[in-house]
């Protein structure tokens, strides 16, 4: 692989968790570290791409050379991703987007009020990947992730098709050295033609292998 084989390509990567606030001091989120997305951004920059990273709140520092757009909620991430979609060649949705947000967000801290329980209602967040899939142009490549605890390949295939993705990295959360806060990852890459490729290594190795596959897919069309 040539070192600068992504020169001239404009890449957007979403990474990290989202936060859905209930009041000014409380939120629901997930344990995503952002490592997979940050590794994708870093390796794409090494390979010469122009890179934007749209990131939820994580503890990692911004990778060198990458334009960073910080977001908090799923709705923020949606706005940023839709805005960046038009001008990019490749969009990778590595973020762990919260599926629900609070129906209403209290401007003031919610008090305990001497009650033993609290009822909250939440509504669905938009599916950002599916939205991007629906506005994607033929020369653009959209990549998603599927973190699963069961029926890995059938769930991932369903997501690939329903969200209009070109490639999906299916991630078995029950496997050792995979998923959320791990340094390493094992993923199966599935494309629209049903081809299947299992890759594993550090998240940076996996990121490089995902870019290899993306370049292969783009070369074919």
Binding residues for CTP: 99, 109, 145, 159, 163
Phi, psi of 13 (to 5 degrees): -125, 130
State how beta strands 196-202 and 184-191 pair.
Answer: antiparallel
- Cβ(118)–Cβ(49) under 8 Å? no
x-marked contacts with ligand C5P along 148-187 as a string, rule CB under 6 A: -----------x---x------------------------
- Report the DSSP beta bridge partners of residue 43: none
Q: Which stretch binds ligand C5P (CB under 6 A): 32-40, 42-50, 52-60, 121-129?
A: 121-129
State how beta strands 184-191 and 20-23 pair.
Answer: unpaired
**Among the listed residues 11, 97, 214, 217, the single contact to ligand C5P using CB under 6 A:** 97
- Report the DSSP beta bridge partners of residue 102: 122
Tokens of residue 23, six digits = 């009041």
x-marked contacts with ligand C5P along 12-51 as a string, rule CB under 6 A: ----------------------------------------
Name which of 125 and 186 has its Cβ closer to ligand C5P. 125
The distance of closest approach from Cβ of residue 39 to ligand C5P in the complex, given in angstroms and rounded to an integer, is 15
Tokens of residue 167, six digits = 């490639």
Q: Is residue 151 among the annotated active site residues?
A: no
- Cβ(128)–Cβ(44) under 8 Å? no
Burial 149-162 (b: 16+ CB within 10 A, else e): eeebeebbbebbee
Q: Is 54 in the site for ligand C5P (CB under 6 A)?
A: no
Q: Is 129 in the site for ligand C5P (CB under 6 A)?
A: yes
Number of residues that bind ligand C5P (CB under 6 A): 14
Interface residues with ligand C5P (CB under 6 A)? 74, 93, 95, 97, 99, 125, 127-129, 144-146, 159, 163
């Amino acid at each position: 692989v040539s070192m600068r084989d992504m020169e001239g390509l404009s890449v957007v990567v979403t990474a990290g968790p989202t936060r859905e606030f209930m009041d000014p001091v409380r939120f629901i989120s997930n344990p995503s570290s952002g490592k997979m997305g940050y590794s994708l951004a870093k390796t794409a920059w090494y390979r010469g791409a122009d890179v934007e990273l749209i990131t939820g709140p994580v503890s990692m520092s911004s990778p060198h050379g990458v334009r960073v757009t910080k977001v908090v909620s799923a709705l923020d991430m949606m706005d940023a991703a839709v805005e960046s979609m038009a001008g990019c060649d490749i969009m990778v949705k590595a973020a762990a987007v919260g599926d629900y947000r609070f129906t209403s967000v209290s401007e003031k801290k919610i008090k305990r009020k001497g009650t033993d329980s609290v009822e909250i209602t939440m509504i669905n967040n938009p599916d950002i990947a599916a939205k991007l899939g629906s506005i994607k142009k033929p020369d653009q490549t959209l990549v998603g992730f599927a973190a699963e605890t069961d029926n890995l390949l059938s769930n991932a295939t369903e997501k690939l098709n329903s969200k209009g993705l070109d490639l999906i990295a299916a991630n078995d959360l029950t496997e050792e050295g995979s998923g959320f806060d791990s340094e390493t990852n094992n993923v199966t890459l599935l494309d629209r033609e049903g081809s299947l490729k299992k890759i594993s290594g550090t998240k940076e190795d996996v990121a490089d292998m995902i870019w290899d596959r993306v370049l292969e897919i783009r070369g074919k069309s």
